[in-house]
């Protein structure tokens, strides 16, 4: 066996996205101890940069040492006690995973279903919250990566507040690609991932908990069933038991070099500015859309709630073997695009323009390769 040297690929699927060389280089810097004072300083900067990205002042904002799914689980296991009722909006794969989290935590899931390709319907949410005054949480996916749909997080959070529910928001695909305004919208608990619009390798899950969510964690009667994800324990590492002393205690060994990458990726976002990053995703989406429509593709999702960073297109009928085309794109063009999931498998492609992948060069490459392979 020899050292592993993968062929560089252009990543235009549903994540991971292209990782800039600057971030990869950051990862190659010397590993230090996980309680080294220099590393503690880095942790504080990561927390502060994440607050910038999430547009929040929440002190409890940090990356969970595992991918987006672990951020999801952190939110659910810390905020749910057995027997609770949780309203979950399902309009794609990831809403379905939220239901799994709720039932495995011993709570009752009240599911609101919307068609794949449509956003969460606020009217249904309002009716359901009225019908279930016992519900304590409303959970929904802001940007559904399985379909390419953006839901109206601001309206949904306002409805939850009116009905005395906390919110759990999945922002794995939205963070860094479209506005995510945690404080302005009154989000209580939110999680994201590194490998989508932050363009950082997978493996970490930024989360943020607001004051109401923290109060709910503090008021728990039963212990959190997950030791690793129990916020009351992990916080001693990220904040210290006594925030004033700034002394951190061992909880787990943080993935040190992955944190270097996240720090670098967040610095790049900070340098670019949130509004500029959002505008770049939108501009590249429009260029890709025009090119795809010229090639005969139509979009699954209506323009009003379409995600710029995840373009779900219906595969034209003249394409008889869509998997073969994706294979050719990967083998002959080193280009990865995403397949459809669930009921959409074989019917759509999901073309990502996430983070650094949202570039004119990528749009041109993708359109050129598709034109060549589809004839």
Ligand X SMILES: *Cc1c(COP(=O)(O)O)cnc(C)c1O
Indicate whether 69 belongs to the interface with ligand X (CB under 6 A): yes
**Residue 123 Cα distances to 96, 120, 126, 152, angstroms:** 20, 9, 5, 12
- Report in angstroms how near the CB of residue 294 gets to ligand X at its nearest: 28
- Report in angstroms how near the CB of residue 250 gets to ligand X at its nearest: 25
- Report in angstroms how near the CB of residue 207 gets to ligand X at its nearest: 12
Position among 67, 96, 106, 186 found at the interface with ligand X (CB under 6 A): 67
Backbone dihedral region for residue 76 (phi beyond 0: left; psi -120 to 50: alpha; all else: beta): alpha
The answer to whether residues 15 and 354 touch, using CB atoms and an 8 Å cutoff, is: yes
Indicate whether 141 belongs to the interface with ligand X (CB under 6 A): yes
Indicate whether 193 belongs to the interface with ligand X (CB under 6 A): yes
Tokens of 189: 């608990």
**Residue 242 Cα distances to 21, 50, 246, angstroms:** 38, 22, 7
- Report in angstroms how near the CB of residue 168 gets to ligand X at its nearest: 12
Indicate whether 210 belongs to the interface with ligand X (CB under 6 A): no
Q: What angle do CA 358, 364, 367 make, to 5 degrees?
A: 105
Residue numbers 295-324 binding ligand X by CB under 6 A:
none
Encoded one letter per residue, x for contact with ligand X by CB under 6 A and - for no contact, window 7-26 reads --------x-----------
Which residue's Cβ lies closest to ligand X? 68
Indicate whether 172 belongs to the interface with ligand X (CB under 6 A): yes
Indicate whether 68 belongs to the interface with ligand X (CB under 6 A): yes
* Helix/strand/coil for 369: helix
Q: Candidates 166-174, 239-247, 257-265, 345-353: pick the segment binding ligand X (CB under 6 A).
A: 166-174
Indicate whether 202 belongs to the interface with ligand X (CB under 6 A): yes
Place of tokens 């279930």: 132
HEC secondary structure over 90-129: ECCHHHHHHHHHHHHCCCEEEEEECCCCCCCCHHHHHHHH
* Contacts with ligand X, residue ranges (CB under 6 A): 15, 67-69, 72, 94, 141, 145, 170, 172-173, 193, 202
């Amino acid at each position: 066996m020899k050292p592993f040297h993968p062929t560089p690929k252009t990543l235009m699927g549903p994540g991971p996205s292209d990782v800039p060389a600057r971030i990869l280089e950051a990862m190659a810097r010397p590993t230090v101890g996980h309680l080294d004072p220099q590393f503690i300083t880095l942790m504080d900067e990561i927390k502060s940069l994440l607050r910038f990205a999430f547009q929040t002042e929440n002190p409890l904002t940090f990356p969970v040492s595992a991918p987006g799914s672990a951020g999801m689980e952190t939110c659910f296991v810390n905020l749910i006690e057995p027997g609770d009722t949780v309203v979950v909006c399902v309009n794609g794969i990831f809403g379905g995973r939220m239901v799994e989290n709720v039932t495995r935590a011993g709570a009752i899931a009240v599911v609101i279903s919307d068609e794949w390709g449509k956003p969460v319907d606020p009217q249904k949410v309002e009716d359901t919250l009225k019908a279930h005054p016992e519900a304590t949480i409303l959970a929904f996916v802001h940007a559904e990566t399985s379909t390419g749909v953006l839901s109206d997080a601001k309206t949904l959070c306002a409805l939850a507040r009116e009905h005395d529910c906390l919110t759990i928001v999945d922002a794995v695909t939205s963070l860094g690609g479209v506005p995510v305004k945690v404080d302005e919208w009154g989000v209580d608990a939110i999680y994201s991932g590194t490998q989508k619009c932050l363009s950082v390798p997978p493996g970490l899950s930024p989360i943020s908990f607001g004051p109401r969510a923290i109060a709910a964690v503090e008021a728990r009667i039963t212990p959190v069933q997950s030791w690793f994800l129990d916020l009351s324990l992990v916080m001693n590492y990220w904040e210290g038991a006594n925030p004033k002393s700034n002394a951190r205690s061992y909880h787990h060994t943080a993935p040190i070099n992955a944190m270097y990458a996240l720090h670098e990726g967040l610095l790049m976002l900070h340098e670019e500015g949130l509004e500029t990053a959002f505008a770049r995703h939108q501009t590249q989406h429009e260029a890709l859309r025009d090119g795809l429509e010229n090639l005969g593709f139509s979009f699954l999702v209506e323009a009003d709630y379409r995600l710029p960073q995840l373009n779900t297109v219906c595969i034209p009928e003249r394409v008889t073997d869509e998997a073969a085309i994706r294979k050719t794109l990967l083998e002959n063009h080193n280009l990865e695009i995403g397949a459809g999931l669930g009921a959409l498998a074989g019917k759509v492609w999901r073309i990502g323009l996430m983070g650094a992948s949202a570039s004119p060069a990528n749009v041109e490459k993708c359109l050129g390769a598709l034109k060549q392979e589809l004839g």
